[in-house]
Amino acid sequence: MIYRVDEDTLRKAAELLCAGELVAVPTETVYGLGGDAFNAGALAKIFDVKKRPRFDPLIVHIAETGTLERLGDLSLLEKANREKAALLTGRFWPGPLTLVLPRRPEVPALVSSGLPTVALRFPSHPAAQKLISYSTGAVAAPSANSFGRLSPTRPEHVEADLGGSIAMILDGGPCRIGVESTVLDLTGELPRILRPGGLPREEIEALIGKTAQTPREGEQGARLSPGMLKSHYAPRTTLILHSGKEMAELPFRQNEAYLFFDRTSMESWLAGVFPAQNLRAGEGIFYLSENGDTVEAAGRFFGILHHVDGLGKTRIHAEEAPPEGLGAAINDRLIRAAA
Ligand code: AMP
Ligand code: MG
């Protein structure tokens, strides 16, 4: 059931969390499937409800920077990285940045799939912050979708996928950022982005300097982030990823869907395939951003994919985003959706 966020529903949701139940919680990135991070039973439920393999670790959400020290052990980091952690949390928390740190033994190993580390994030959504602070102060929350499928950016997406198996869905409106957090590992020599996400690499590097390259599946180092699977974020409909040039040359087929990065590229394609007709976006033809803005595109990304996936088309053709800013996060999701 979906409940509008207010003081009563937040208190009720916090009680459920403290009793080991799961609650879907709005955040600024995507909706999370929350469970008490200190309760191994609740953690097991998260994996079961999502059908998520136990080797894919969960992010723990906190509601004040100080809680970091209760869960992560900064003393085990190299000094330079300890300083970077302080800079990063000072500038980007609360917000779409997850830090991977050495895990304290009080945190159940199940959270981290047995890794000696823990991933921590302080979300900026006020409902998430209240829910976390009204409960135990640490809520493990992966995206509230079945494993491998599209992430939810509206409460209705959660209801359609997991509605039958969770105690409560809190409605905090559509997610402002729309893609998952950037996951940054501070336990190595050089900070490494394990997953591009809602905080662009450029902003991180402007603050702390160079980061290591993200390992790809199969490459050495990929095991550092066991959840980074080749196929993920997938619609049910087959998705094919194209460069802008390839996309511009596609023929139109009635039973296929077309997702352009911006309006200009959609319109020049339309002018080419339908010189005499007046076909409009919406009939299986979409763009992510009006003016080629990667922030706007990220915000609309999963919502549009959920919609397109419901149209019953045989294929979705998607145009890659420019690589800068949140374009990196969009392309990461598109590559995995196409895999
Ligand atoms: P999700 O919660 O579904 O957005 O996915 C969280 C992702 O964060 C996982 O799939 C991992 O790739 C990454 N992650 C979480 N915890 C850790 C950790 N301790 N070490 C490395 N990566 C992690
Ligand atoms: Mg997920």
Sequence-separated (6 or more) residues with CB below 8 Å from residue 336: 229, 230, 231, 232, 233, 234
* 150 Cα–ligand 2 center, Å: 8
Nearest-CA residue for ligand 1 atom 10 is: 227
Instruction: Spell out, as residue ranges, where the chain has pLDDT lower than 70.
Output: 215-229, 275-282
What is the total count of domains within the chain?
2
Is residue 280 a contact partner of residue 203, using CB atoms and an 8 Å limit? no
Question: What pLDDT score does 122 carry?
Answer: 98
Q: Which of 221, 247, 269 is the last residue of a domain?
A: 221
Could you tell me the maximum CA-CA distance found in the chain, to the nearest angstrom?
68
- Going by C-alpha positions, the residue among 93, 87, 112 that lies closest to residue 101 is 112
Question: What pLDDT score does 225 carry?
Answer: 60
Nearest-CA residue for ligand 1 atom 14 is: 57
Full-model pTM: 0.93
Hey, what are 267's tokens?
């319109």
HSE toward the beta carbon, residue 125, CA cutoff 13 A? 27
Question: What pLDDT score does 215 carry?
Answer: 66
- Name the residue range of residue 332's domain: 238-338
Question: What pLDDT score does 219 carry?
Answer: 57
Any idea what the CATH number is for the domain that residue 302 is in?
3.40.50
Sequence-separated (6 or more) residues with CB below 8 Å from residue 70: 104, 106, 137, 138
Question: What pLDDT score does 134 carry?
Answer: 98
Any idea what the CATH number is for the domain that residue 67 is in?
3.90.870.10
* 293 and 330 belong to one structural domain: yes
Say if 187 falls within a structural domain. Answer: yes
Say if 137 falls within a structural domain. Answer: yes
Is residue 190 a contact partner of residue 205, using CB atoms and an 8 Å limit? no
* 211 and 323 belong to one structural domain: no
* 205 and 253 belong to one structural domain: no
Tens digits of per-residue pLDDT, 256-290? 999 999 999 999 999 888 766 665 555 799 999 99
Q: Which residues line ligand 1 (CB under 6 A)?
A: 56-59, 100, 112, 115, 117-119, 142-143, 180, 183, 194-195, 224-225, 227-228
Q: Which of 221, 249, 284 is the last residue of a domain?
A: 221
* 268 Cα–ligand 2 center, Å: 34
Question: What pLDDT score does 130 carry?
Answer: 98
Q: 219-256 burial string, b = 16+ CB within 10 Å, else e?
A: eeebebbbbbbeebbbbebebebbeeeebeebeeeeeb
